[in-house]
């Protein structure tokens, strides 16, 4: 494996390939900052370029755009509460409060460093465990995916900072929104009030509305400070202290592990990995009450998870030919356009391409870290722009990004409607993040549950007779017991008596 990885390094370190790797990650970071655009739009536009490049160089370019967008998505999330990518939604929960408390530079540094570590862990797992993880992924059938999604939905109800009952209600709202559109099995329309909703509600519209537009509405009426202090960024304010760095070690390790696992599963992706990492970190934390208020471990865990998942997401793509998400499907399409069929033989028949792409992750993550650290002070200068001038720009960026996603005016109107809904939810202490995860996971649960019932004749015992599915059932039951026990133990704590 080491010899093969060195072969890949010899490919990616060629000057012309290195230039394309740099261009890919830099473009991906810029795309990630723009709300609603995302890597899928950039890769779609650059697909014709692959006709003029060899297969290895084109894959390195497209892969750099993909994981570079994971870095860039955290910048807008931290500074403006705008998730540039779906996987950076969780970053808003801790990153934006940190920026509001004059710690934007520290948040950007922690996000960049956590992303770097998560990416490197993903690369290491790609090199050492690509074949074993492929074998495990092949054992996941419809029952296993259905129980995995249920576990994710239970974790989503623990994301919120308030009542778990409220968070669970928001998960159900997200599932209901995910049902809008044509039924994937029968083709019948469900909850389609207008023809434009036949394809369902756009994830970009929902995310931009609940997080971006709602924050603009909340802050538009606030008066600017009369004598605001000048913003001065020093490197000592950007780099975490020794105590802070120590508190980030285990969250980064846990986030990288969760992200590597979910990235290797076909049909999941970085967004689910980041939500799961945040939920698990909140459960492992000794101070869960700090989450949602600018807690650094809550920022580091999902950032390391989504970048680890973006690396290991290439395992099912390259070794099985099974895409983990829409971006991976585009990359498979680019391979086929170059006359290369992804699958188990790719590692043997095209070793320079396979290991060159994996080695490019190692080089690309180093490039991104070197780009991000010096630019932190520049990104923070965005906060100097007066809010009264910044908010119209944000609304325009959101509308352009949402419209470019599906070229639909209805999506833009839905984004504004979800912005009003998100504003009302925050006023009444309902968390928007569980809505988004319910929206993403709800259709996956429906599809895999239906497939299980069709394949096994409606036999519900299949969920506990298959080993992996049974383990996931036990984990879900333990999570429910843990949540109930935690709720009851908090109620038993007597309130402090007044002197």
- Longest CA–CA span in the chain (Å) reads 78
Phi, psi at 343, each rounded to 5°: 165, -170
CA dihedral 12, 16, 22, 25 (to 10 degrees): -70
**CB-based contact 42:65 (threshold 8 Å):** yes
18 CB-contact burial (10 Å; exposed 0-12 / middle 13-18 / buried 19+): middle
pTM score > 0.75 for this model? no
Instruction: Spell out the alpha helix ranges (H) of 201-350.
Output: 203-207, 214-220, 235-238, 242-263, 270-284, 296-312, 314-319, 326-337, 346-349
pLDDT, tens only, 165-194: 787 888 889 888 888 888 877 778 888 877
**CB-based contact 77:394 (threshold 8 Å):** no
Tell me what pLDDT residue 227 has.
45
Tell me what pLDDT residue 497 has.
46
At residue 269 the predicted structure's pLDDT band, cuts being 50, 70 and 90, is low
pLDDT, tens only, 139-168: 778 888 888 788 877 776 765 555 677 878
Whether the pLDDT of residue 20 is over 80: the answer is yes
Tell me what pLDDT residue 130 has.
65
Whether the pLDDT of residue 224 is over 60: the answer is no
């Amino acid at each position: 494996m080491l010899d093969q990885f060195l072969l890949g390094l010899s490919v990616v370190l060629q000057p012309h390939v290195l230039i394309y790797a740099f261009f890919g990650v830099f473009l991906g970071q810029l795309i990630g900052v723009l709300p609603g655009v995302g890597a899928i739009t950039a890769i779609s536009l650059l697909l014709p370029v692959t006709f003029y490049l060899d297969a290895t160089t084109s894959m390195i370019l497209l892969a750099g755009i993909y994981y570079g967008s994971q870095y860039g998505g955290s910048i807008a999330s931290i500074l403006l509460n705008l998730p540039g990518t779906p996987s950076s939604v969780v970053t808003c929960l801790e990153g934006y409060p940190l920026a509001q408390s004059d710690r934007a530079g520290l948040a950007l540094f922690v996000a960049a460093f956590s992303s770097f570590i998560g990416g490197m862990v993903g690369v290491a797992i790609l090199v050492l465990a690509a074949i074993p993880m492929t074998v495990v992924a092949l054992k996941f059938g419809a029952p296993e995916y259905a129980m995995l999604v249920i576990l994710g939905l239970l974790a989503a109800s623990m994301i919120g900072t308030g009542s778990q009952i409220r968070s669970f209600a928001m998960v159900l709202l997200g599932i209901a929104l995910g049902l809008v559109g044509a039924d994937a099995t029968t083709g019948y329309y469900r909850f389609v009030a207008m023809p434009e909703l036949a394809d369902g509600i756009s994830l970009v519209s929902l995310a931009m509305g609940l997080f971006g537009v709602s924050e603009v509405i909340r802050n538009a009426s606030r008066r600017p400070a009369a004598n605001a202090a000048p913003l001065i960024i020093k490197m000592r304010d950007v780099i975490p202290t020794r105590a802070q760095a120590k508190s980030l070690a285990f969250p980064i390790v846990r986030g990288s592990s969760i992200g590597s696992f979910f990235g290797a599963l076909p049909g999941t992706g970085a967004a689910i990995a980041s939500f799961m990492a945040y939920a698990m970190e909140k459960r492992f934390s000794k101070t869960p009450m700090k989450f949602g208020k600018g807690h650094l471990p809550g920022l580091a865990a999902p950032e390391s998870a989504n970048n680890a998942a973006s690396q290991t997401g290439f395992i099912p793509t390259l070794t099985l030919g099974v895409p983990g998400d829409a971006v991976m499907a585009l990359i498979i399409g680019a391979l086929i356009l170059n006359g290369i069929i992804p699958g188990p033989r790719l590692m043997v028949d095209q070793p320079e391409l396979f290991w060159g792409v994996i080695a490019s992750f190692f080089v690309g993550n180093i490039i991104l870290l070197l780009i991000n650290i010096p630019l932190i002070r520049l990104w923070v200068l965005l906060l100097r722009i007066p809010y009264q001038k910044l908010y119209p720009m944000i609304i325009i960026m959101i509308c352009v990004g949402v419209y470019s996603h599906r070229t639909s005016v209805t999506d833009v109107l839905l984004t504004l409607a979800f912005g009003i809904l998100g504003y009302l939810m925050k006023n009444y202490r309902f968390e928007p993040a569980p809505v988004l995860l319910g929206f993403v996971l709800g259709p996956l649960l429906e599809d895999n549950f239906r497939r299980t019932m069709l394949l096994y004749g409606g036999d519900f015992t299949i969920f506990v007779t298959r080993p992996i599915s049974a383990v996931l059932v036990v984990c879900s039951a333990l999570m429910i017991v843990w949540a109930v026990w935690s709720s009851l133990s908090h109620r038993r704590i007597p309130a402090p008596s007044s002197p």
